Structure 1
Amino acid sequence: MTLLYVLLGLALIILALSFTSFEINEKVEIVAPIEKVWSTIIDFESYSKWNSQLEYLGGQVKPNGILHLRLAAEGTKPYEFKPLVSQWEEHKRFAWLAKTGLPRIFDGEHFFELEPIDENTTLVTNREEYRGVLSLIMKNQPMMKAAPKGFIKMNRELKSHLEQLS
């Protein structure tokens, strides 16, 4: 009976940890209409023109599509992953969800959220929600400590690219 309680307690701890999370969130104002920003964010085949960290290797850029990406952020070893396009709200929100192993072990959902400031200026929120059993451990790893710099760099590259086109 004692072993059963220990196992039950362990299961409850793991379940509780699966709901832990943290977020990286960076914003940038871009002098470009929201439609132009949206079309650039979902045009993965053109990422090589502006994004030095994320490479599109294939996949389906559509709701519930599977992308094949390679991330080479500064200070980390490049790696490939195949996230699911988890959110698609035209001109508002685009997101993909990457899972490490089983769901809720360590998942990352990356968002681009767009808000019009005026007809020629867009506020872009580039953020990622990390969640799962390992999130509290991963939060303190060097690659996660360096991640905000990568988000800032991506925002600057997107801004520079779009504002040069305008």
Structure 2
Amino acid sequence: MRLSPGNWSTGKKVAAAMLLVLLLLVLGTGFEDNKPMLTDRFLWPKSAHERIENMASIIRRIKSPARWCDRSNNPENIYDFDPKEEEQDFGRCLSAITPVSDFRETSPGHYIKRFYRAEIGDKFCEVTLSTVFEDDRIVGSDCFFGFFPKARDTGIGMTDDKFG
């Protein structure tokens, strides 16, 4: 018996569709490093949440701002670059950051951010991490950071610099 598309059973059609979806997902995980991320098309916003959590993990591990981080322009920010910062208060603070907000999708389907903080002595550090759909950012930063005296704390979002 010859199989033609008209003779396929429903089970075979479902199996073929599932294989096609699996193939697309596998291909989507292979696009990283400023290339379109097909996983966003299928898994947004979960894919963005995972990228943000990975960024936070990197900052904790390296105990300093990553290359894709910018110093916040908040006038209360007392951060001053020190080549040995991982041994200083700021580096220890960054190694302990934890989420202090939910993921905020400020531009639905396009832009998500989350705030992280930690305290050390009479100071605290805050990091704003964000990502955009398909990681297609023309201008702006994925990360803003700052180091502040506790007495100057105005609440979560002190490193929420304007995009761009």
| TM-score, with length taken from structure 2 | 0.35
Rg (Cα) greater in structure: 2
| TM-score, with length taken from structure 1 | 0.35
Q: 1 or 2, which has the higher strand percentage? A: 1
